[in-house]
Amino acid sequence: MILFAVRLILFTANIPCVLSYFGKAPSMYLSEYAVEFNGIKYILSSGKKVGVKDMDIVVVGLGIIGGSMAKAIKKYTDSRVYGINRSPLPIQKAMECGAIDEIGSPDTLKKADIVIMGTYPEAAVDFVSKNADKINKDCIVIDTSGIKSKICPQMSKIAKEHGFTFVGFHPMAGKEKNGFDVSDADLFIGANAIIIPCDAPHSAVDKIVGLAKKLGFGSVVFAEPEEHDKMIAFTSQLPHVIACAYVFSPNCVRHKGFSGGSYRDVSRVANINAKLWSELFIENKQPLVEEIDTLISNLNEIKRGIEAGDREELENILHRGKVIKEALGE
């Protein structure tokens, strides 16, 4: 498969926003603010024309992502934010700190311009399915989950059946800790946002791009669900697998006094939300297993070089890693 990418630099409030478009050899057309992605022409505004002011936005699930979205919307836009959460404590905290204007309910969906699902993937589909008849026809629903191949078809189907719009959305941001207490209005500053258009109208996609830019995202990437999940298996899920496997070593409990930056870098994301990540891993089983197999193969190559005591061969293997990183400018 040939992967094409086109980038367009936009500026808003002196913050550059890179728009990248990935797909399976799509027909591309690029003008100042337009791109054709898989046969659909998207007109993307400079940010000054995007209607992100004075909207009613409902955030469902006030964990680290949903809570951060609510706080960022209140900080960087003039929209009103309504919060819905299964447990009452995050709602109470969100009201106290001003992250939301009101406590929402399913009936609030009737007046929502945008609904942001900050829940786990299965919970997002379940909530939207149960409350689809309350979502108004002009509303855009976005998810924030880390997998798309399964959730996007389900959400798109529900949206089409009930007349509203669904756009897949993945904010590439987070922390080692979870929950509303660690949510942050500036969590998304400079972060990547991935958008799965899901055949949504141009105006809906444009509005979500504009909202992302207002919240400080530095890069907006378009992708198909399958390409998204394949890349996320490598860039996000595999590092969590590696971190967990790494700290399983019996030497981990003895690391203090012997560790530095390398230990911190590799082990950082092992402080994992096991319930969430187990769901993400299983839902993205095939791409993730393929990445794990590739990693094992690469580890075995290095292991054989060490066991053989062949310094020249081992040096060549390790140098390949350096060449790859340098070619990426990293």
Task: Indicate the number of domains in the chain.
Answer: 2
Q: Which of these ranges, 7-16, 138-147, 183-192, 239-248, has the smallest mean pLDDT?
A: 7-16
Question: What's the confidence (pLDDT) of residue 226?
Answer: 96
Q: Output DSSP code: residue 317.
A: H
Q: Which of these ranges, 39-53, 222-236, 249-263, 285-299, has the smallest mean pLDDT?
A: 39-53
Q: 183-226: per-residue pLDDT in tens?
A: 999 999 999 999 999 999 999 999 999 999 999 999 899 999 99
| Residues 286 and 317 both lie in one domain | yes
Q: Vertex 51, ends 49 and 57: CA angle to 5°? A: 160
Question: What's the confidence (pLDDT) of residue 159?
Answer: 98
Among 262, 288, 286, 291, which Cα is nearest to 277's? 288
CA dihedral over 327, 10, 36, 224, signed as positive or negative: positive
**Residue 120, φ and ψ in degrees, nearest 5:** -65, 160
Domain hosting 34: range is: 3-223
* Pairing status of strand 140-143 against strand 114-117: parallel
Quick check: 27 pLDDT over 70? no
Write down which residue in 189, 223, 257 finishes a domain.
Answer: 223
Q: Note whether 124 and 65 are within 8 A (CB).
A: no
Inter-helix orientation angle 274-283/121-131, to 10°: 80
**What average pLDDT is seen over the chain?**
87
- Distance between CA atoms of residues 184 and 71, nearest Å: 7
- Distance between CA atoms of residues 82 and 105, nearest Å: 8
| Residues 46 and 189 both lie in one domain | yes
| Residues 34 and 92 both lie in one domain | yes
pTM attached to this predicted model: 0.83
| Residues 126 and 158 both lie in one domain | yes
| Residues 92 and 213 both lie in one domain | yes
Q: Which helix (H) or strand (E) holds 67?
A: helix 64-76
* Pairing status of strand 34-37 against strand 40-43: antiparallel
Q: 153-178: per-residue pLDDT in tens?
A: 999 999 999 999 999 999 999 887 88
| Residues 219 and 295 both lie in one domain | no
| Residues 25 and 174 both lie in one domain | yes
Question: What's the confidence (pLDDT) of residue 30?
Answer: 28
Residues 111-125, mean pLDDT to the nearest whole number: 97
| Token reading at 192 | 């990547």
- Distance between CA atoms of residues 70 and 59, nearest Å: 7
Q: Output DSSP code: residue 237.
A: I
Q: Which amino acid is at 38?
A: N
Question: What's the confidence (pLDDT) of residue 177?
Answer: 85
CA dihedral over 61, 65, 68, 73, signed as positive or negative: negative
